[in-house]
Structure 1
Amino acid sequence: MKKLILSGILAVAGLATTMNAQIQKGNWMVGGNLVGADFGLNKGGGYNFAIQPKGAYFVEDNIAVGGYVDLGFSGAKDSPTTFTYNVGALGRYYLSPGEQGVDNLLNHGRWFFEGNLGVGGTSISKGGSSSNGLNFGFGPGYSYFITPNIGLEGLVKYDANAGFGNGGYTHRIMFGLGFQIYLPTSKAKQVINDVK
């Protein structure tokens, strides 16, 4: 019985250590939001479907920087279709357990804040407005680690495009669901060597 209890304690401690390992300096994060939905703040807002791949490198523990691409379309019944595209840099900061009074919702996850800055645009069919220029966004998210290297996540984000065109400034509240794969640098090098 003592061996069983000791094994259980070691397993929980090992999982907690592994959970922190994927967001350490030198690791890679690759994935994105596979399903996106938003609620438009502009006139004619409706549904939105998007794919949003992301990749980042942990420059410090809990801090990742990288890039993103956002391609999507939206519309509503009897209205024009909207095409959205954005590309640029992103940054993430993962909160440590208990940091700033924030405790983990679940034992196998982490809260994070994400911000992005890049270029992008929106164009609406049938002679609708368009906007091209500076894309920026920020918001909180939560990543639940289903394995030591795979996290399912949800993200609520304010996303805006300030620029040129007859649409001017466009903005929205976005909700995304997706996953991330966290790889130590040694495993990433192994994957690259396997591809060669």
Structure 2
Amino acid sequence: MKKLIFTGILAIAGLATTANAQIQKGNWMVGSSLLSSNFGLNTGAGYDIKLQPRAAYFVEDNVAVGGYVTLGFSKPGAGQSTQFDYGVGALGRYFLSPGEKGVDNLLNHGRWFFEGNVGVGGFNVENGISTTGLDFGVGPGYSYFITPNIGVEGLVKYNGVTGFGNEGLTSRISFNVGFSIYLPTSKAKDVANDVR
């Protein structure tokens, strides 16, 4: 247990001391979007929670590719059907450099990006409505780095699922809030070696 705590402290210290290397070739990005959350306060009110953990590797400066998993559960309220959302697939993210194409950073400690995903996903509702098939999405976002390697992110994204089931195509626009940790490969190797 002590070894695990010590490894965690070393990883956080490494994250805090790395400067301006977040989105360079060879780095890793891991994090999660809190797609939506809604907790009703009235008697019989419902709730809605969706998470999208993801991991990506920077194949070039400013360009990351990886994967994601979407898990969601919603219970709208008394007398309404429970819904389960799911998905798994590939994602890509491109970060704009300062001044690129006339787009300057909103703040000195952040970056604009575009994200797209494609995979397999769907939803099932307790009353029998369902769709399973191609899960896709695209949209712009902004990552504000609260430390050199930890970003709080906002993302406006068009999401869709098309395929088989009672609904041929479902789509929505979502505002996602989440975080990502940008870890240089050398630091990831150090943490892995310390754990062993």
TM-score of the aligned structures, taking structure 2 as reference length: 0.82
Secondary structure at the counterpart of residue 193 of structure 2? helix
Question: Superposed, which structure 2 residues align to 1:165-180 within 5 Å?
Answer: 165-180=165-180
Question: What are the Cα deviations for residues 58-107 of structure 1, in whole angstroms up to 9, with x where unaligned?
Answer: 00000000000010123433421211001000000000011111111111
Partner Cα distance (1:137, 1:111) in 2? 17
- Distance verdict in 2 for CA 1:47–1:171, change over 3 Å: farther
Letter in 1 for 2:115: E
Match of 1:121 in 2: 122
Identity %, equivalent residues: 69
Gaps of 5+ in 2: 1-17, 38-45
- Cα offset, 1:48, TM superposition: 3.9
Partner Cα distance (2:195, 2:120) in 1? 31
- Cα offset, 1:47, TM superposition: 7.1
Secondary structure at the counterpart of residue 19 of structure 2? helix
| Runs of at least 4 residues off by over 4 Å | none
Question: What are the Cα deviations for residues 109-159 of structure 1, in whole angstroms up to 9, with x where unaligned?
Answer: 0000000010011111123x1000110000011000000110000111111
Match of 1:88 in 2: 89
TM-score of the aligned structures, taking structure 1 as reference length: 0.82
RMSD: 1.7
Secondary structure at the counterpart of residue 69 of structure 2? strand
Q: Within the alignment, does 1:157 sit opposite 2:157 as a pair?
A: yes
- Cα offset, 1:191, TM superposition: 1.4
Partner Cα distance (2:125, 2:69) in 1? 19
Partner Cα distance (2:66, 2:175) in 1? 20
Match of 2:42 in 1: none
- Cα offset, 1:172, TM superposition: 1.0
Question: Number of matched residues?
Answer: 170
Question: Superposed, which structure 2 residues align to 1:32-47 within 5 Å?
Answer: 32-33=32-33, 35-37=34-36
Partner Cα distance (1:84, 1:180) in 2? 22
